[in-house]
Amino acid sequence: MSVYQRYPPEIKMQAIQLRRKGYSLDELSVQLHVPKTTVQGWVRSVSLSTEARNRIHSRVVAAARIGQPLAVIANRKKIEDWKQGIREEVRAIVQNVTLSPVLGKLLCALLYICEGAKYPSTQGMRFGNSDPQMIRFFLQLLRTYFVIDEQRLRGEVGHRCDQSQKLLIQYWSKVTGIPESHFYRRKPDLRTMGKITKRQDYKGVCAVQYSSTTLQFTLQSLGEEALKMVEPERVELSPPRCHRGALPLRHGPTLISRL
């Protein structure tokens, strides 16, 4: 038996009449209590006037306006659930890791390979980043697993023209535990002249320095050896060269005057 024969002929006729008035398929389905696919078959041959087409379009737009925020909320929840699942998974991994002196040194060295100034392009340890958590983590590893003299630690902040160097030094001094008097002054990035810093939480780029080429090369060599651990063949790699864009701050001992 055909699916159309389950409904009285007058229901089909009512659907056709309402369709000519500009009722959408969803409206017809809800009002007549008939599946949308069935209604679609009934009114497929109905010719619509301009007025009817405009009414259907306005209904579709209105429904989209209502449904879009709900879809955005649902999508955001889906993304948050996805991120939370990954966070819980990696948190379980990290909680099972014991930070030994060897692992601590390797972590510190790998960070330095990524964000540190390399020998022989520069001489002396120099690690820079705009993320305070990254700077804090590197310094914690450095202070814990390497023998250093706190009095030899220095800091420098690369900043934009519309930022206060004094306030930035105060901020990074608290992050690093390095006294403000041990921070070098430097000129702002002249490329930012007349440009407004859009990110309100941007605190410039902090570079932590330590005048020891031995410490620098130790970190660099440890990082290079760690990188070889995942290579299929242990081949000698040439030392990575430090290019001008590797750090956003000036390299070398020719720094600006102290505070």
Q: Please, what are the averages of pLDDT over each run of 10 residues along the chain (259 residues)?
A: 64 90 87 89 89 84 74 85 93 91 96 96 96 97 97 97 96 98 95 93 96 97 92 58 47 37
Residue at token pair 């250093």: 148
Contacts of 154 by beta carbon, 8 Å cutoff, 6+ apart:
178, 182, 183, 184, 208, 209, 210, 211
Computed from CA positions of residues 45, 51, 52, 56, in that sequence, does the dihedral angle turn out positive or negative?
A: positive
CATH classification for the domain delimited by 101-228, as one of 3.30.460, 3.30.420, 3.30.410, 3.30.1330: 3.30.1330
pLDDT of residue 4: 42
Rounded to the nearest angstrom, the gap between the alpha carbon of residue 33 and the centroid of all alpha carbons in its chain is 48
pLDDT of residue 146: 97
pLDDT of residue 237: 57
What are 148-172's pLDDT values in tens digits? Answer: 999 999 999 999 999 999 999 999 9
Query: Cα separations (Å) of 154 from 107, 141, 232, 245?
Result: 21, 17, 39, 21
Coil/strand/helix, residue 105? helix
Q: Whole-structure pTM over 0.85, yes or no?
A: no
pLDDT of residue 231: 66
Looking at the chain, the domain(s) classified CATH 3.30.1330 span 101-228
- What is the C-alpha to C-alpha distance for residues 226 and 170, in angstroms, rounded to an integer? 35
Asked whether 75 and 68 are in contact (CB, 8 A), the reply is no
**Identity at 118, one-letter amino acid code:** K
What are 109-154's pLDDT values in tens digits? Answer: 999 999 999 999 999 999 999 999 999 999 999 999 999 999 999 9
Query: Cα separations (Å) of 253 from 21, 56, 75, 213?
Result: 82, 73, 52, 12
